[in-house]
Each structure stands twice: as structure tokens, then as C-alpha cells.
Structure 1
């Protein structure tokens, strides 16, 4: 067995152990799994509103967790710069630590196309598998979220996310207390699919705020059944990308054309915080990333256990 096959075998063995350990809960989790369909043909970008309703609803709901950085912000070793979006709190044209969803506006063959963008909430999120500190979780409903209280902003999650979703704000987070000059750099922020509302069997605010009913959440098997019916006459995105996601887009315009329009729009501009619509394979299929996930797993487990102990102590106070 060579080195590469060893790593693959180790990772698959670890995965098999996890699957076996959780097999008893698999049916219950599957029953709780949620997904959403975003109908691009229905979205008009809320042209009658100053701010798209899904964007404003998301910002209002999450305002209480928006970062308040401690200044002056000092870069951590060996970095010479840091990411600070505290002066861009009103920027709704891209993903930021203060804006978890945005509307991509494109013109394709004289047609205006509006696309709500946010975290795809992957079935097998590489951000979760490759977080060295184990602070990214996935709920039974399928929501992928970052624990802001323990994230140190290393940004590995953004590096491995095919869409570059998580965004970092410096000058906040636990790293300021435990390792301000050695590691970290802030906290990573992104959409958590309104996990608290889903847990209470309530709809995420982007759906309830949408005046065109362009965003629809439901049980994952039901959403996928609808999507499979829709793809007979329109184009689908999200079912297979990155190994499968909980966010399905449907459109009368094919997604290759949409992605070309996005690339053209940002040809000479920064693409930071901007999501493409390419077909992405899961980076964990790469043997090096798979090996890294295997090596990181014990560290992440230790980190998660430490966090659980700290939380338990806080709850008892």
C-alpha cells in the first residue's frame, strides 16, 4: 500500500466508523433534512423596494451578531494586513461579515436576471471537514453554521469552499484573548440557513420576506422531487454541484450562460464575496485534501470537545 492509498484508506475507514456510529440516527436526521428552491424566473430583484426583501430580512435577523471589531486592529503573525469590513456595513452587493445574502444582477440577451446568492449548505461541506478547530457544524436540518464564539478566523473554510462563501472580520473573536499575535485573524461569517428557525419548524426569513415567492423551503426529499420535475423543462443548479447541496436553483436560462455573464461582469473587478455558477466537484475528492481531512479530524474533535466543555461550564453559571 503506497502513501496515497494509505491516506485514502484511512479517511474512508474513519468515514465508515462515523457512519456506523450514527446509523441509528440516520433515519431521524433524513426526516428532518431541509432544502430550498430558488426560482430565478420569479425573482425581480425587488425592483419596487430600496433593498431586496430577502437581503433586508436577513440583515435585520442577524444584526445582533454582526461583528464589532476592537480597534486599532493589529495583523497577526506572519500577516501584514487584515480584513476589515466595518466601514462597509451597508454594502449589499456582495457577501461580507455584515451581509449574508445578496442579489446578483445580470443582463443576458437583453433580459434582466436576478439571482439571490448565499451559502449553498452542502451535503458534504468541505469547510466543516477541513476546519482545524472543529467550529463548523451541520444541523439535522442540513444547516451549515460557524460557531462565532470559538472561530479564530483562519479562513481555511473559505479556501476550500468552491464558492468562497465565508467572509472574515478582523478585530473580533476568541483569538484576541488566546493568541492575538500567533494565529487566527478574526471570525468567519456566513448564512446559517436560519438554523434556529428551522429547529423550531419555522421558515427562514428570506422565504417569508420574498414578495414573489421565489424562495421556497421544505423537506429535502419533497424539494428534490419538485426540482426533478422542474428540470424536465428548465435548468437546475445545486443538486449535484460539490457533491450535492441543500440549495437548488431553477432557471429558464442555462447556468453555463449565467456563469459566463458573471465572469464577464467581474472581469476587471474583485471577485471577493462574489459567487460563481460553475459546476464544482467536492474538493474532498482530491487525495491531498482527503489526507488533510484525515489528519485534521483528531484536532477538530479535540477542539469540538474543548468547546463543549467550555459551553457546559458557561451554561451552569
Structure 2
């Protein structure tokens, strides 16, 4: 992939806009939501791969990263994140696996939890990405643009669930400052963005219903209807809800007969990488100093200008050399 001066200018504009305006955005409820009923999930125990995981991988396989090797670490780091030799790993989130089923034993009760992006109403990952690579869509999903993601992992740092995962050796950083800036590209569930734009269901939802029919774990639809379904089932069946309040609200709700405080206690005790904190405050409310952000934005824009100038100088030099021949 090569980047033109116009492309880089567009990138720098996105960076500036994200830095200056991102944190001032308000929470926006999306069009759709998902309900995940943990009382029904058995982790597809009789199958080698849970249906939701298999469907996600199949639908998104053409978008999986193909790193350029050998991968070089970038200063000042001496390591990099490379999952390319673990493409078939399905028991965690990776750049090649955007949903997995977390298996737990809580007070003698087996529980299976499909884990993927929560798609927050006011997503910190979107507001804090310094490159403008993340956007919140009208449908309610947050999406990473892999064409302008530098893999800085700010999105993962501010995500309460640490969902996005990084793959080195791919992305725009290879064309700009591969030794000094960027770490690859971040990947996560985007709720099958192309499908839901057409009014279709995400692949994981369809696959689950194909297996369990009316007892499907996943329910997907208009946000209001999904929220009403979750509250009604919680009241009628004595269940607990997760996702409606956490991080200011999300487009992904869970219901469970086991309190989520008990679930989180087990996850903490096991030191699981992906936990389910019950008390999650939205980090957008703790904003950066606006003057500091202005300075940072100016720095990025200056870097963009310098790079564009370098490209222009190199082009001029090549033209001069050509004319001399």
C-alpha cells in the first residue's frame, strides 16, 4: 500500500479533528442492539467450534491481517504483537478471532459467555483514537478503519473490556515511519457492519439461531425492542442485566441468572484477561486538558506537513534527475 500526499493530508485532517473534537461528543444511542441470554448458552458443547465463533471467522476471513515479514519492532519498543502463527486460536480475542466463548464455573454452576465488542453508546475508543481511525456508526456499532489505523492501541487502553487486539506488520505505519511510530492495526468486532447496514443480522446471531431455533442465545433488532425484551425477561424470570448501565450504556446486553458481581469475582480470581466489571464509569467524562490536546493536535499536523514536504522534495528531486538525463 502506498500513500499519496492527498491521502496523508486527509489522514492528518482526521487526526486533528479527532484530537480537537473527539472528547466533546455526546453519547448517541444506535439503531440496533443485541441481547445475549446466558441462561441458554451451552458453548456449543457438542461441536468443535462454537457456532457464533465459526460464523464470525468465516464471514470476516477476507479482512484478516496478512503481515509483511520479517516484522520489525519500532522504537523504543523491542517487541511487537504478532498473532499470525495463532490464527486458529479461538479461546480468546485476537486479530483473527473477534468473538469467543468464555467458560466459567460460578458457585458450582457452569456458564458460557460469548465475548465481543460491547459497542458503547459513548465509546472511549472512538473519542480517544489520536488518528481518527475509529467511528461510531448510526447503527450503533463502532468501527475501526484499518486503512488509517496506526495500531497505537489507545483504543484498547481506554476500553473497559480491553477488546481491540493488535497485529504488527500491517497497516499505514509501514509506509510512513515503521521504525518510530505505530505498531500495526487494531482489530475487533464491528457487528458485521456491511450486513446490518442492509438490515441483516450479524453472522453470530444468525448462526446461533440456526442451531437453537427459538431458544437462540442471541437476539438482535431495534434497540428499543431489545432493551424492552431484556427488562421484561429480567423481571419475569428473576434475571440480572449487564450492559445497560456499564460505561454509560451499550448496544450489547447480557442477562443471567447469576449476578454479574459473582461472575466478575470469579474472573478476577482467575486473572482472566477479559473481565466483566460491574461498576464501569465512562472515561469520556474525565477529559484531557483542551490546551494540551490543541498542542498535541498541532504536533501531529506539523508532522503531517513535514511528511508532505518530504514527499514533495523527493518528487522534485526525481524530476530533476530525470531532466538531467
Q: Same fold per TM (> 0.5)? A: yes
- Aligned residue for 1:229? 232
Name the counterpart of 2:315.
Answer: none
Match of residue 245 from structure 2: 240
Q: Deviations over 1:208-251 (max 9, x none)?
A: 00123101111111111112223322100000101110000000
Q: What's 1:282 paired with?
A: 282
Correspondent of 1:255 among 260, 267, 290: 260
Could you tell me which residue of structure 2 aligns to residue 4 of structure 1? Answer: none
Between structure 1 and structure 2, the one with the greater Rg is 2
1:220 paired with 2:218, answer no
**CA spacing shift, 1:302–1:149, aligned 2, 3 Å:** farther
Give the 3 Å change call, closer, same or farther, for CA 17–254 of structure 1 in structure 2: closer
**TM-score of the two chains, using structure 2 as the length reference:** 0.79
1:298 Cα deviation (Å)?
8.3
Deviations 1:20-78 (A, max 9, x none): xxxxxx9xx96x61000000000000011110000000011111111111111101111
Match of 2:174 in 1: 176
5+ residue gaps, structure 2: 1-19, 304-325
- What is the CA–CA distance in structure 2 between the aligned matches of 1:223 and 1:205, rounded to whole Å? 18
Alpha-carbon distance between aligned partners in 1 of 2:179 and 2:23, rounded to the nearest angstrom: 39
1:238 and 1:301 map into 2 onto residues whose CA distance is 37
Q: Would you say 1:121 and 2:119 are equivalent positions? A: yes
Distance 1:278-1:132 versus aligned 2 partners, 3 A rule: same
In structure 2, do the counterparts of structure 1 residues 249 and 70 end up closer, same or farther at CA, with 3 Å as the change threshold? same
Q: TM-score, normalised by structure 1?
A: 0.81
Alpha-carbon separation, structure 2, partners of 1:229 and 1:201: 25
Counterpart of 1:185? Answer: 183
- Structure-1 separation of matches of 2:286 and 2:205: 35
Distance 1:292 1:244 in 2: 28
Deviation at residue 15 of structure 1 after TM alignment:
8.1
Deviation at 1:265, TM superposition (A): 2.4
Select 2:32's aligned residue among 31, 34, 51: 34
**2:83 aligned with 1:85, yes or no?**
yes
Name the SS for the 1:49 alignment partner.
coil
Q: Residue deviations 1:244-269, cap 9 Å, x none?
A: 10000000000000111112223xxx
Q: Which residue of 2 aligns with 1:314?
A: none
Structure 1: 5+ residue stretches without partners: 1-12, 20-25, 304-317
Residue of structure 1 in register with 2:159 after alignment: 161
Cα distance, 1:87 vs structure 2? 1.1
In the other structure, the counterpart of 2:5 is none
TM-fit CA distance, 1:295: 6.9
- The within-5 A match list for 1:133-152 is 133-152=131-150
What's 2:269 paired with? 264
